[in-house]
């Protein structure tokens, strides 16, 4: 049998950038300056076509957060997501999920396993966890040319981000100046102690918009207002594909909990008397407290439905977690009820995009980011 050869490694295929399937005149209101702008048009929240476009350009084409490296690795050293897989050995790596022989998937999407090698179930070719071809039974081929196609993957403070299309800009440009605000909490040394998974009948952007304002807090979050004045805080306007701001804690409060007390361990270099709220596009909401970090990781399942994995990360020495988890579980459910109601509202055939109040400037920032992305997906690479 002759040895197979393969002339050159193909680069990851570039795709033509196209604008979102939204009428530009409908998007114009969202792109106006703050004070004159509106919410997004109905199709952004309800259209299956827009949803599919977002999946390609905002998730596959950007830096999708898959969760905590440590938590994923504990569930197996190989995980298959939609179209790609992630392996955990000396570091996390991502690969296109197809065998270099005749393209069978190496693992079914949504599954994980723990094995010393990736083994194709079709003809048994196997790969090292770093993607190198390990063995091709009864086929004399040049192993050097048939490794798995690697995709960009980054471990940032313990969170795993993958650019599944391979054509996003560098992760450092995506983050911009955000690391400065997150690094003091040293999230890489924290442990996920509790995770709640919620399925919400609302578009993922409605959840993010709700997250970025506290205008609604006096009406639906009495417990939150008891420990944090809803009118406090400032927003940042810095480089990167993120939106965020901080809110103060009341004088008696050390953290966000029913009694304002921390029953855990304060994080050594975390700012006190404040909570930072950051939305890193597209799907990670980070709430940085003096004694814990809470994240909402959004996985859109359709235009009108989103799975949210809410995780609470604490100092490894912390024992008590309920003070934070119970508090935010209540606030989460208050928020989900509001978001589901908004989803029903934007689904009305009579819906018209409404204006934003002066204290909804972070919502404006978020909607601007989304709208610019709809119009020019490549603009997300430049921020
Ligand atoms: S397709 Fe994987 S071994 Fe043949
Ligand atoms: Fe809220």
Cα 147 to ligand 1 centre (Å): 13
Q: How far is CA 299 from CA 95, 302, 304, 310, 364, in A?
A: 20, 9, 12, 11, 22
The residue among 149, 167, 185 that closes a domain is 167
Q: Who's near 246: CB < 8 A, 6+ residues apart?
A: 233, 234, 274, 275, 276, 277
* Percent residues over pLDDT 90 in the chain: 91
Domain end among 133, 152, 167: 167
Ligand 1 atom having least distance to the Cα of 99: 2
pLDDT at 381: 56
Give tens-digit pLDDT for 148-198: 999 999 999 999 999 999 999 999 999 999 999 999 999 999 999 999 999
Kindly state whether residues 251 and 368 are assigned to the same domain.
Answer: yes
Q: Is 230 found in the same domain as 122?
A: no
Smallest CA-to-CA distance from 43 within 304, 280, 337 is with: 304
Test site for ligand 1: of 125, 126, 127, 148, most ligand atoms within 8 A of the Cβ:
125
Question: For ligand 1, is residue 375 a contact (CB within 6 Å)?
Answer: no
Other Cβ atoms within 10 Å of 144 Cβ, number: 10
CB 99 less than 6 A from any atom of ligand 1: yes
User: Cα–Cα distance between 125 and 99 in angstroms, integer?
Assistant: 8
What's the pLDDT tens digit per position in 266-293? 999 999 999 999 999 999 999 999 999 9
Answer yes or no: is 40 within a domain.
no
Angle between helices 204-211 and 322-346 (to 10 degrees): 120
Q: Is residue 324 part of a domain?
A: yes
Q: How far is the CA of 98 from the centre of ligand 1 (A)?
A: 9
Neighbours of ion ligand 2 (CB under 5 A): 335
User: How many domains in the chain?
Assistant: 2
Q: In this predicted structure, what is the pLDDT of residue 12? A: 46
Structural domain of residue 356, as residue ranges? 171-381
Decide which of 131, 146, 167 is a domain's last residue.
Answer: 167
Provide φ and ψ at 81, rounded to 5°: -105, -165
Query: The CATH number of the domain where 97 resides is what?
Result: 2.102.10.10
């Amino acid at each position: 049998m002759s040895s197979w050869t393969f002339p050159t490694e193909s680069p990851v295929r570039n795709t033509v950038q196209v604008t979102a399937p939204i009428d530009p005149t409908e998007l114009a209101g969202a792109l106006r300056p703050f004070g004159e702008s509106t919410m997004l048009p109905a199709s952004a929240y309800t259209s299956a076509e827009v949803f599919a476009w977002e999946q390609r350009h905002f998730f596959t084409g950007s830096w999708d957060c898959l969760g905590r490296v440590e938590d994923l690795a504990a569930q197996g050293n190989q995980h298959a997501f939609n179209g790609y897989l992630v392996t955990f050995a000396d570091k996390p790596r991502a690969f296109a999920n197809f065998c270099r022989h005749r393209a069978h998937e190496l693992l079914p999407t949504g599954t994980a396993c723990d094995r010393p090698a990736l083994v194709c179930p079709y003809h048994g070719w196997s790969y090292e966890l770093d993607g190198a071809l390990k063995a091709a039974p009864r086929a004399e081929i040049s192993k050097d040319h048939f490794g798995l196609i690697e995709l960009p993957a980054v471990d940032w403070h313990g969170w795993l981000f993958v650019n599944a299309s391979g054509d996003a800009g560098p992760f450092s440009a995506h983050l911009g100046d955000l690391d400065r605000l997150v690094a003091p909490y040293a999230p890489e040394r924290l442990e996920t102690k509790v995770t709640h998974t919620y399925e919400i009948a609302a578009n993922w952007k409605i959840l993010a918009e709700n997250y970025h304002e506290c205008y609604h807090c006096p009406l639906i979050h009495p417990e939150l207002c008891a420990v944090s004045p809803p009118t406090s805080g400032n927003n940042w306007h810095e480089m990167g594909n993120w939106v965020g701001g901080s809110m103060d804690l009341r004088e008696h409060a050390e953290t966000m909990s029913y009694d304002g007390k921390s029953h855990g361990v304060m994080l050594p270099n975390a700012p006190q008397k404040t909570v930072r709220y950051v939305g890193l596009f597209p799907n990670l909401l980070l709430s940085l407290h003096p004694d814990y970090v809470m994240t909402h990781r959004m996985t859109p399942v359709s235009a009108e439905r989103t799975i949210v994995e809410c995780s609470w990360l604490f100092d490894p020495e912390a024992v008590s977690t309920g003070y934070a988890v119970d508090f935010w579980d209540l606030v989460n459910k208050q928020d989900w009820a509001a978001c589901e109601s908004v989803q029903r509202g934007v689904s009305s055939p009579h819906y018209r995009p409404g204006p934003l109040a002066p204290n909804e400037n972070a919502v404006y920032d978020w909607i601007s980011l989304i709208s610019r992305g709809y119009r020019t997906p490549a603009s997300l690479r430049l921020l």
